[in-house]
Amino acid sequence: MTQKHDNYINGAWVAGHSYAPNINPSNLSDVIGEYTQGDAAQLDAAVQAAQAAFPAWSTGNVQARADALDKIGTEILARREELGTLLAREEGKTKAEGIGEATRAGNIFKFFAGECLRLTGEIVPSVRSGVGVEITREPLGVVGLITPWNFPIAIPAWKIAPALAYGNCVVLKPADLVPGCAWALAEIISRSGIPAGVFNLVMGRGSVIGDPLVNHPGISGISFTGSQGVGGRIAQQCAVNLKKVQLEMGGKNPQIILDDADLAQAVELSVQSAFFSTGQRCTASSRLIVTDGIYGKFVDAVQARMATLKIGDALAAGIDIGPVSSLSQLQQDLDYVAIGQAEGAQLVAGGTRLERTTEGFYMAPALLLDTTAAMRINREEVFGPVASVIRVKDYEAALAESNNTPFGLSAGIATTSLKYATHFKRHSQAGMVMVNLPTAGVDYHVPFGGRKGSSYGSREQGRYAQEFFTTVKTAYTGA
Ligand code: NAD
């Protein structure tokens, strides 16, 4: 018998209409647990509970808030190995990556525990004599948080922690593919001292829970991370209902390698950011833009490094890359490899399904050469271990190519030239720019987000999170 896991609504565990199995993508015979599927009535109960809890929570003692967030962070950090293992088991990134993500989640709660005490305002002189003006930030109200499957603990954490720190009440709808980490986080929050109704978890499908959450009149704002298609529809619904919305979506992130790059470093950071976490990071570099002078050496060295990668069970020791998270994602990855080949790209490594001792969604990372900017493989997000190489003449062509995308999340350059590094940081049209570092890997206390089709609304993480999770009040006092 696998354990059953319920929704958390108004301080109580509540069963939905059915249960869905959470299956390990490294071993399809391993059922992690059964997770309940809520419905619109449960979602409504969660929003109403959050609305009822809001007046006391939003005006309550900030030390109590800080203590609760600190307690959550402390428990996550103490249990990082166990939570990281659960994460690797349900999502498929390696155990080391899972522990790293759990650590990040714990640190985020610790950071926002401190932020509870640091919300400041401004006092400015009025143009009218004897009149004072105060500018303060207040919580939005009840916020709906909708999260994707690829960071099942860090992304819920980086939305929940600032939402609560700034005095909001929360309804979390996690990705239905990976409910395990969200449920574990909810269980930790349920014992943190946070009053009933302040935090609620409602699991279920996007169309059943996510859609009514976005459209519920009791919700003041939606913070969403996921695909561009779903995000775009949510933005439209929020516009019609005049709700605040924040969207973090896909990427087609470029990694430039210039002639003057340190070859070994360029190879390592390219392989890291294209293929680790099975390429399932919104910040993964899926376009390797390489200048003429280093092209041959770089492509040979990347293939040699790819040949050393160990792909296998996410929980096994010594594994570099776990399985793809789901059958539909694996099919999408394989389809894009075929689309790239049909468009004229040359597949020189990987791109096929792999068999291991257990049945799982394993795939050999794929490298495609002779690709051009117009190809779908370079315009659409694959979201798997698939990288394409674009050959260019020089830095100017590489910069133009890197910006030639409807996305703008992260971008990297490998170079030993201060001139090109400085110019790229200034002229890249991405929200996050890396010099001699992988395109993935942003600290938990600095702003995270992109431009163009990758993001909409204000930044997440760090102190910038207050832009979304608070609203500004201007207050006057007369003589
Ligand atoms: P997705 O858009 O399919 O789903 C995201 C969430 O939206 C899930 O919880 C889903 O159930 C919910 N949802 C689906 N339909 C909905 C609807 N009609 N109304 C409301 N909610 C609905 O995305 P995914 O496949 O879970 O995640 C992968 C995507 O997320 C990729 O595009 C990736 O780039 C992106 N991502 C972006 C960032 C970032 O910060 N920019 C981070 C991680 C992932």
423/458 same-domain check: no
106-137 burial, b at 16+ Cβ within 10 Å, e below that, comes to bbbbbbbbebbeebeeeeeeeeeeeeeeeeeb
Q: How far is CA 285 from the centre of its chain?
A: 15
Number of domains in the chain: 2
- Establish if 448 belongs to a structural domain: no
What's the residue count for the chain?
Answer: 479
Please provide residue 70's backbone torsions phi and psi, each rounded to the nearest 5 degrees: -65, -40
Q: Is residue 82 part of a domain?
A: yes
CA of 162 to the centre of ligand 1 (A): 20
Residues 29 and 138 in one domain: yes
Side chain identity, residue 364: A
Residues 383 and 463 occupy one common structural domain: no
Same domain, 120 and 216: yes
Q: What tokens were used for 43?
A: 């979602």
The answer on 413 and 363 residing in a single domain is: yes
Q: Best substitution site from 238, 282, 327 to test ligand 1's pocket, by max atoms within 8 Å of Cβ?
A: 282
CA–CA separation, 107 and 67 (whole Å): 14
Same domain, 245 and 260: no
Q: What tokens does 394 get? A: 């020089």
For residue 206 and ligand 1, the question of a CB distance below 6 A is answered with yes
pLDDT at 479: 76
pTM as predicted: 0.98
Which residues are known catalytic residues? 248
Is the same domain home to 258 and 243?
no
Domain annotation covers residue 81:
yes
Residue with CA closest to ligand 1 atom 35: 226
Question: Could you tell me which residues come within 8 angstroms of residue 431 by beta carbon, excluding any fewer than 6 positions away?
Answer: 408, 409, 410, 447, 448, 449, 450, 451, 454, 455, 459
Q: How far is the CA of 423 from the centre of ligand 1 (A)?
A: 33
Q: Whose CA is nearest to atom 30 of ligand 1?
A: 226
Q: What share of the chain is helix, strand, coil (3-state, %, to 5)?
A: 40, 25, 35
pLDDT tens, residue order, the chain (479 aa): 689 999 999 999 999 999 999 999 999 999 999 999 999 999 999 999 999 999 999 999 999 999 999 999 999 999 999 999 999 999 999 999 999 999 999 999 999 999 999 999 999 999 999 999 999 999 999 999 999 999 999 999 999 999 999 999 999 999 999 999 999 999 999 999 999 999 999 999 999 999 999 999 999 999 999 999 999 999 999 999 999 999 999 999 999 999 999 999 999 999 999 999 999 999 999 999 999 999 999 999 999 999 999 999 999 999 999 999 999 999 999 999 999 999 999 999 999 999 999 999 999 999 999 999 999 999 999 999 999 999 999 999 999 999 999 999 999 999 999 999 999 999 999 999 999 999 998 999 999 999 999 999 999 999 999 999 999 999 999 97
- For the chain, the first-to-last Cα distance in angstroms comes to 71
Question: In this structure, what CATH number is given to the domain that contains residue 310?
Answer: 3.40.309.10
How far is the CA of 9 from the CAs of 186, 190, 198, 204, 391, in angstroms? 10, 10, 9, 14, 54
Q: How far apart are CA 263 and CA 416, in angstroms?
A: 10
226 belongs to a structural domain: yes
12 and 42 assigned to the same domain: yes
At residue 1, the pLDDT reads: 65
Q: Is residue 447 part of a domain?
A: no
442 within some domain:
no
Range of the domain at 309: 253-435
233 and 300 housed in the same domain: no
Q: How many CA within 13 A on the CB side of residue 216?
A: 29
Q: Tell me, yes or no, whether 155 lies in a domain.
A: yes
Asked if residues 420 and 413 have their Cβ atoms less than 8 Å apart, the reply is yes
Burial of 252 (0-12, 13-18, 19+ CB in 10 A): buried
Same domain, 112 and 196: yes
Contact 109, 70 (CB under 8 A): yes
- The region, left, alpha or beta by phi > 0 then psi within -120 to 50, assigned to residue 130 is left
Same domain, 150 and 192: yes
87 & 217 share domain = yes
* Beta strands 169-173 and 199-201, pairing class: parallel
Q: Is residue 321 part of a domain?
A: yes
Q: How far is CA 278 from CA 19, 323, 379, in A?
A: 28, 7, 20
Q: What's the CATH code of the domain at 134?
A: 3.40.605.10
Rounded to whole angstroms, the Cα distance separating 118 from 116 reads: 6
**Ligand 1 center to 326 CA (angstroms):** 14
8 pocket-lining for ligand 1 (C-beta < 6 Å): no
Q: Is the CB of 279 under 6 A from ligand 1?
A: no
Q: Is 226 in the pocket of ligand 1 (CB under 6 A)?
A: yes
Question: 3-state DSSP call for residue 138?
Answer: strand
